[in-house]
Each structure stands twice: as structure tokens, then as C-alpha cells.
Amino acid sequence: MFPSVDTYAFDLDRVRRAHARRRARHGAVAVFAVCVALWASGVSAQPADLAQGKRLFESQCGSCHGPLGNGGKGANLAQPRLRRASDDEALFNIIRRGIRGTEMPGSPLTPSQVSSIAAYVRTLGRVAPENIPGDRIQGQGVYASLDCARCHTVGGRGGVVGPGLGDIGARRSAAHLREALTDPAASVPSGFLQLRVVARDGRAFSGIRVNEDAFSVQFLDLQGRLHSFWKDELDVLDQQWQRSPMPSYAGRLTADETDDLVAYLVSLKGVTDE
């Protein structure tokens, strides 16, 4: 039995709608591809794009990277060449997707908004660099005298309880590092959690959480030894958020020693310990 004329009309209409949707999708993809290609090839952003990028940067990025991009909790972006974003495409991808294993999250913004932020970030390389007083060579001596290597790693050497410092100068501003030395609790990295643990057999520990699930917890004690417990083996599992095992050096270092130590830490930009 042959299909009716009405059936043919319905099928033809459905085919036409499918073709229209396909053309619309292909057109949108093509327009987006052209825009990204033009942007990635170094075409300068229009003033309106830079203005939008500045507004978005200040609202979305400035709390970590600083209002001028010269660093804080996030990396210092006010430099001619960015270590993780050697070209425009890499910068676009970092803003859009984030950096796995770091405090840099992905972004829900549109490609156009991301492009405007990236264009603005490129202009930050023309911002005057921070004025950092102090002598980094003297600061290296201060670092050694305080035995910072007991907890922190530089160039593959040192402890593992604290964050690695091999590239801390690329990730933190001088102001942020100074604050971390004088008020460590105000500068605790995201995800860093100090624990106080008391086992049922009476053993007590302070340490830094490595991993935790509903049934177990793993942590490094302050000597860098790894411990693992089932939670039903513990009498106390105290999560001490915004606490740091690092002491404040506000009254232990002179102003010159603090300047020297900050200068040394800012100079550490070449080794990744993360």
C-alpha cells in the first residue's frame, strides 16, 4: 500500500526542518571557529572588548590575581610573558578550562567573554613591575636559617608538609608572600586542611590532610610521615580550617630580614613543585 499524500508532505516538512537545523548548527560552528581563529592569530581586541575584559577581570579574577593582575592568592599576570600561557590560544584555554591540580578553576563564561578577558590580561604585561625591596641572596640565607626546607620544597629538595615553593614567585605576589610570613592563617591555600587526630589507643597527631572519604582519612604529620586510619579507630578527628602549622615571623624577623626573604621567594619562578 502506497503512503498517502499527507504522509509525503509530513516527511518532506520534517526533512526541511532537519536541514535547517543542520545548517544553523554548521553556521554557528563556522562563525565561532572564525572568531577564535582571528583572535588566536593576534588580531587586536576592539576597545569595547578590552573594556568588557577589564570589567570581567575585576569581578571574576581580581580577588585572586589582584586588581592590577600583579598577583595575590593567584599568579602574577602583570608580566610580558606568562609561564603557563605562552600564546593566546593557551591563555584562552586556561581561562576557559582552568588548570587541573591547582586553585585555578574553569570558567562558565561565553567564548566571547573569555576572549575579552584574555585580551585584557595581555595588556597587564605593560603594568609597571612591583617594587620589591630587599636582597634575594641575603634572603636565601634567611630562608636557610629559619629551616624552611623542613616543610617546603625548592628545586626538588626539602619537606613535603608545606606547599612547594619552587615557582612561588610566579604564583604569588610580594604582598601576599609578606602576609603569609606575618599572618599565615590569613593565607592558607585552598584545600589545605590541618587536622588534630586522636586514636582510640591514645596516640595523638597534628598533620595535613592528604585524602579523606566517608570511612578513612590519610594525613602527613608535621615530620612528613604518612598515616592512615579508619575513622572508627579514632576518638577525635578535628578539622582545623584556616589554621596553619607555620608560625608567624612578625616578631622574629627584622624589617630588613623580611624584605630579603620576600625578595628571595619572589625570585623563585623556574621550578614547578606542584
What are the structural domains, with CATH classification, of the chain?
47-126 (1.10.760.10), 136-188+247-266 (1.10.760.10), 194-240 (2.30.30.100)
Full DSSP string of 41-82 = TTPPPPHHHHHHHHHHIIIIIHHHH-TTSS-SSS----SSS-
The mean of the pLDDT values for the chain is 81
Model confidence pLDDT, tens digit, residues 220-237:
998 899 999 999 999 999
Q: What is the mean pLDDT of residues 132-161?
A: 93
Q: Name the pTM for this structure.
A: 0.64
Model confidence pLDDT, tens digit, residues 186-207:
878 777 899 999 999 999 999 9
Spatial contact of 115 and 49, defined as CB atoms under 8 Å apart: yes
Q: What is the mean pLDDT of residues 162-175?
A: 86
Model confidence pLDDT, tens digit, residues 25-78:
544 444 444 344 434 434 445 555 888 988 998 888 888 887 778 777 777 787
Question: What cell numbers appear for 43 in the block?
Answer: 588580531
The backbone torsions φ and ψ at residue 221, rounded to the nearest 5 degrees and listed phi first, read -75, 175
Closest-CA residue to 170 (of 99, 221, 120): 99
Residues with Cβ within 8 Å of 200's Cβ and at least 6 positions away in sequence, in order, are: 233, 234, 235
pLDDT at 6 over 50: no
